[in-house]
Structure 1
Amino acid sequence: MRYYRLPGGERSATDILIVEDEDGTAYDLTFASPDLASFKALARVANATNEAIDDVARKRLDDADQVDLDTVDGKPLQPVIADEVWAAGVTYQISEEAREAESGKPEVYIDVYDNERPELFLKATPSRTVGPSEDVGVRGDSDWDVPEPELGVVLHRGETVGYTIGNDVSSRDIEGENPLYLPQAKVYDRCCSIGPCIATAETIEDPHDLEMSLTIERDGEIMYEESTSTSEMATTCDELVSYLDRHNALPETLVLLTGTALVPPESFTLTEGDQVTIDIDNIGSLVNGTVTV
């Protein structure tokens, strides 16, 4: 199943949680119960009853109001307000090659790609994360900025409960100047987007067999378009989660971005007004504009 958070509009004074079943039929779970107004709330119920999230939702479908996702008021919001967004780096070979190219210290990235321990870093807080149709940011003090399309693993109380799409926007020239500048290259206003929904593990049978594509448009012209597969990952999602959880008290809800294999050429940089579209099989499309911050 896929879960969307939408503004309540005329339906509710609060945001509403929409579930789309295997047949593509959508239901307003918040109509069934005001206690199910968010994915986090649904995950809490599943955790308390020791049930799968989809099983909890299915039990309420008879009481839920059927809706048309194409006509419901408002556009999807961030599907979950994650307490933290973390990210992994150098999990694909092309990412390792690109990081070598941007840096005067390529051995740093070679070591990570070849070693068992992955690169993990805190990417964003809730105030720095945007949702579908919102603008991601590019730093005003950077001259080389790119989107990084990534599969996101959604964790609740340390357990994987679903998958989403993430855009790990990055200032490549800042990081390339010195690897110690990574936090400034990665963490800033509007540095991350999440959406459009959360697809549960039941829907994503194998997170390492998903087609992923990136399209960047400027004034109606396609500036970059490429696709890959998560099968190219050198480190599994479970391995990344296991390292993130080591000696690290995780918050209740967290999204872990798993790295990118789609890297625009060195001649390209994001500019204000660009539109970035990331598609991943069985999850959907995450579309964002771009603004200078």
Structure 2
Amino acid sequence: MRYHRLPDGDGYRLIADDGDAAYDLTAVKPRLDEFTELAAAANVADTDVDELAETLVETAPTVDREALADSALPIVPDEVWAAGVTYEISEEAREAESGMPEMYVQVYEAERPEIFFKATPSRTVGPDEPVGIRADSAWDVPEPELGIVLYDGEIVGYTIGNDMSSRSIEGENPLYLPQAKVYDKCCSIGPCIASAESVGDPHELTMTMEISRDGETLYEGETSTGEMDRSCEELVEYWCDHNSVPQNGVLLTGTSLVPDDGFTLRPDDEVRIEIDRIGELVNTVVEV
């Protein structure tokens, strides 16, 4: 199933979509208004989120599936982290932007992956909310990525992430990575969380990205998560190893869709990212 978080007055409703119908789980269990609550209940019951949701669907009212277009940030993660240089083209792009290209080759070929802190809840936006580009940056790009959703250290689902990046700042010096990656509206997640069971193998998903400006398509590309040089399990292991990860977190897994070197985002651009079995994440761009 895919799980959406719909605004409802001052709160939210948790909606489960099985592809045929959308069910209001909050109507059955009013305290169940967040995916995290569902994951917590499944953890206590020693089952998976879909099995628990299916027991609620039997008595849950349906909602118009068109309402899912208004989905909010599907989960408010305690922390978002990200992995870098997990695809060959990403390694090549970061070599091209950097004055120290050899370090990216070493990371791509090394046993230990690059794992870095990406965003707090206040820096993370949801579907149809604006993502940011820094006013002090001259070269800004979106990075479409598969996001792993963890609860209590276990993979419970997947989402779509946009790891916004200043390539000009990182390219000046690799030590500037935090400033290139972590700032207001630097990350978007959505439109939903697809359960681990519904996604199946996360390494065989088609991912596409389209960037448009004033109605004109400036970039479109397609890749597969099968091109990733690291497995999701490996990245999660390194993220959690010797690290007190939050109970509720998201790990982005890297990108292989990189616009040409001459391209940079501008305010009002639109970024569309789609991943099989999950959905489509759409954001416009603002300067921050």
Which runs of structure 2 are paired with 1:144-223 in the superposition (5 Å)? 144-223=139-218
For residue 121 of structure 1, what is the amino acid of its counterpart? F
1:273 aligns with 2:268: yes
SS of residue paired to 1:36: coil
Which runs of structure 2 are paired with 1:232-271 in the superposition (5 Å)? 232-271=227-266
Measure, in 2, the Cα distance between the counterparts of 1:69 and 1:173: 41
Q: Give how far 1:201 is off.
A: 1.3
2:51 aligns with 55
Alpha-carbon RMSD across the aligned residues, in angstroms, is: 0.9
Task: Number of aligned residue pairs: give it.
Answer: 288
1:8 aligns with 8
Q: Give how far 1:157 is off.
A: 0.5
Measure, in 1, the Cα distance between the counterparts of 2:71 and 2:156: 20
Q: Give how far 1:221 is off.
A: 0.2
SS of residue paired to 1:17: strand
- Alignment counterpart, residue 41 of structure 2, candidates 45, 61, 72: 45
- Alignment counterpart, residue 284 of structure 1, candidates 249, 263, 279: 279
Measure, in 1, the Cα distance between the counterparts of 2:93 and 2:83: 15
Question: How high is the TM-score relative to the length of structure 1?
Answer: 0.97
Measure, in 1, the Cα distance between the counterparts of 2:196 and 2:187: 23
Instruction: List per-residue Cα deviations over 1:103-161 (Å, max 9, x = no partner).
Output: 01011100000011000000000000000000000000000000000000000000000
Measure, in 1, the Cα distance between the counterparts of 2:94 and 2:145: 16
- Alignment counterpart, residue 28 of structure 2, candidates 29, 32, 37: 32
Q: Give how far 1:60 is off.
A: 0.6
Instruction: List per-residue Cα deviations over 1:32-82 (Å, max 9, x = no partner).
Output: 11021100010110011111110110001122111112046x711111000
For residue 59 of structure 1, what is the amino acid of its counterpart? T
Measure, in 2, the Cα distance between the counterparts of 1:116 and 1:76: 38
2:131 aligns with 136
2:17 aligns with 20
SS of residue paired to 1:43: helix
Q: Give how far 1:14 is off.
A: 2.0
1:76 aligns with 2:71: yes
For residue 7 of structure 1, what is the amino acid of its counterpart? P
For residue 200 of structure 1, what is the amino acid of its counterpart? S
Measure, in 1, the Cα distance between the counterparts of 2:64 and 2:117: 36
Percent of aligned positions with the same letter in both sequences?
61
Which runs of structure 2 are paired with 1:45-124 in the superposition (5 Å)? 45-71=41-67, 75-124=70-119
SS of residue paired to 1:63: coil
Structure 1 moving runs of 4+ over 4 Å: none
For residue 42 of structure 2, what is the amino acid of its counterpart? A
Q: Is the deviation greater in 200-209 or in 90-99?
A: 200-209
Measure, in 1, the Cα distance between the counterparts of 2:198 and 2:53: 14
Q: Which runs of 5+ in 2 are unaligned?
A: none
Measure, in 1, the Cα distance between the counterparts of 2:144 and 2:57: 33
Instruction: List per-residue Cα deviations over 1:175-226 (Å, max 9, x = no partner).
Output: 0000000000000000000000000111111100000001000000001001
